[in-house]
Chain A
Amino acid sequence: QSVLTQPPSVSGAPGQRVTISCTGSSSNIGSRYDVHWYQQLPGTAPKLLIYGNSNRPSGVPDRFSGSKSGTSASLAITGLQAEDEADYYCQSYDSSLTGSVFGGGTKLTVL
């Protein structure tokens, strides 16, 4: 049972828009702690996709965007491409656990 809750899977057709939610609590997302997102392609290490709720590292397409509101955060992917098929994880800090916490991960399938 992960501290941050994500849907196990989402899917969309090429060109469509999908969103992945990440729900936490008052001790993590609902507090002052930022949310970060990672993309994990099959057989590879996670890669930072969004940091500080909505910032993209250099090289990440602007098709990827993030937002945070209350105790939840969301990752949106527009103009879906086959290469976006991967697992996506959210991450934040939890003051009760005094450490980093991850969501359980969401598998994105491009139909």
Chain B
Amino acid sequence: QVQLQESGPGLVKPSGTLSLTCTISGGSISSSNWWSWVRQPPGKGLEWIGEIYHRGSTNYNPSLKSRATISVDKSQNQFSLKLSSVTAADTAVYYCARYYSTAWFDPWGQGTLVTVSS
């Protein structure tokens, strides 16, 4: 059973870069799936950030494309998110998830809160 776990700093300064890692257990990142990041600002809804295939292909939300970078580390069975030039509007719980059958998200990690503040 595939399980996902996010990790990374919980506090990032404005104009800095948010960096998160998702570790996959119970399955391989090299399986025929895409792997995604989704975020949820406090008290608000879900927003798709982007996704990556183990061979390196990526897709991003157009609203974040210029700031977001998703990468894969097959040796660690992990994928990562970097979001540059962050502002308070980027404060959110960040989830990683498997984008199964390029259609739905399952499973999800437990999420990690990232606060952008000086």
**Interchain CB contact under 8 A, B106 and A97:** no
**Interchain CB contact under 8 A, B47 and A102:** yes
Q: Which 5 A-B pairs have the closest CB atoms?
A: A48-B106, A36-B104, A100-B48, A45-B108, A102-B46
Rounded to whole Å, the gap between the CB of B65 and the closest CB of chain A is 10
A51 contact from B36, B47, B51, B103, Cβ within 8 A: B103
| Interface residues of A, dominant DSSP | strand
Residues of B in contact with A (beta carbons under 8 Å apart): 36, 45-48, 50-51, 59-62, 95, 99-100, 103-111
Report, as a range, how many residues of chain A touch the other chain: 20 to 34
Rounded to whole Å, the gap between the CB of B51 and the closest CB of chain A is 8
Per-residue B-contact encoding for A48-91, CB less than 8 Å = 1, 0 else: 10011000010000000000000000000000000000000101
Residue among B45, B61, B62, B99 with the highest chain A CB neighbour number at 10 A: B45
Residues of A in contact with B (beta carbons under 8 Å apart): 2, 34, 36, 38, 44-48, 51-52, 57, 89, 91, 93, 97-105
Known: A48-B106, A52-B103, A91-B105. 16 other contacts (CB 8 A): A36-B103, A36-B105, A38-B46, A38-B105, A44-B110, A45-B110, A51-B103, A51-B106, A52-B104, A89-B45, A89-B46, A98-B59, A98-B62, A99-B48, A99-B50, A100-B48
